[in-house]
Amino acid sequence: QAYNSLKTAERSISEIDSMQNGEISIGATDTICKYYLMPYFKNFRKLYPGIKIHVTNRTSPKCIELLEKRIVDFSIINVPEDFRRSGISVQEISEIQDVFIAGNDFPELKDRKVGLHEREKYPVLVLEKNTTTRKYFDSLIDKFNLNIRPEIELGSVDLLVEMCRIGLGISFVIEDSIEDALNKGEIFKLDTYEKIPPRKLGLLTSSSMPLSKAAVKFIELLR
């Protein structure tokens, strides 16, 4: 942590007068990178071509650890429910909506309202344990008193969508990740009676580590 603090201070001093060179380090999940951050990376590179962008892809809990160890300047994560961590500030930058999806092998679930209890009759595909999305899914299962045991656990949202598309089961993913498959008619969203509350996409910064000028500029783009 001390070494990373010195590195941050070095960068801040070298960037005081210019944005011609420097670097930023970001912690984010692969899903957030692909479906949220890509246009910001593109715009930032156009504005500041001399600034290097380093991205470390980890699960949301691991991205929190990266920030605590000062390996990254800031992290962008799916904020866990009731998140509190000493020394870390959270700013909400967007909302995430989770949805249940199915492929065309399950036409009986299409174009009608269904209850979450009906999921108990079908194979369910979810993200692996120790991810924020999986913890949120498990909390919904408990909240609605459902008897669901996932049949497939994966580390990639894209794989969940693909396996759902070929008919391996029903999946629980963020809505932003399904636009392409949805437009092609390969999958459909389940219209549930029960409302699934949206979650927060949050920017995490360390209250004890000053941000470099380049990091501040990137965050301004996000806002």
pLDDT digits (tens, 9 = 90+) for 49-97: 999 999 999 999 999 999 999 999 999 999 988 888 899 999 999 999 9
Band (208; pLDDT cuts 50, 70, 90): confident
The angle formed by the CA atoms of residues 77, 199 and 121, to the nearest 5 degrees, is: 110
Q: Three-state SS string across the chain, please?
A: CHHHHHHHHHHHHHCCCCCCCEEEEEEECHHHHHHHHHHHHHHHHHHCCCEEEEEEECCHHHHHHHHHCCCCCEEEEECCCCCCCCCEEEEEEEEECEEEEEECCCHHHCCCEECHHHHHHCCEEEECCCCHHHHHHHHHHHHCCCCCCCCEEECCHHHHHHHHHCCCCEEEEEHHHHHHHHHCCCEEECEECCCCCCEEEEEEEECCCCCCHHHHHHHHHHC
Q: Residue 53: what residue type?
A: I
pLDDT digits (tens, 9 = 90+) for 157-200: 999 999 999 999 999 999 999 999 999 999 999 999 999 999 99
Q: Which of 18-27, 30-39, 54-63, 140-149 has the lowest mean pLDDT?
A: 18-27
Strand order in the sheet with 170-174: 152-154, 124-127, 170-174, 98-103, 187-189
Q: In 10 A of CB 36, how many CB atoms?
A: 19
pLDDT of residue 174: 96
pLDDT digits (tens, 9 = 90+) for 119-150: 899 999 999 998 999 999 999 999 999 998 89
Write the burial class of residue 171 (CB in 10 Å: 0-12 exposed, 13-18 middle, 19+ buried).
Answer: buried
Q: Quick check: pTM over 0.95?
A: no
End-to-end CA distance of the chain: 28
pLDDT of residue 54: 95
Q: In 10 A of CB 37, how many CB atoms?
A: 20
Distance of alpha carbon 168 from the chain centroid: 24
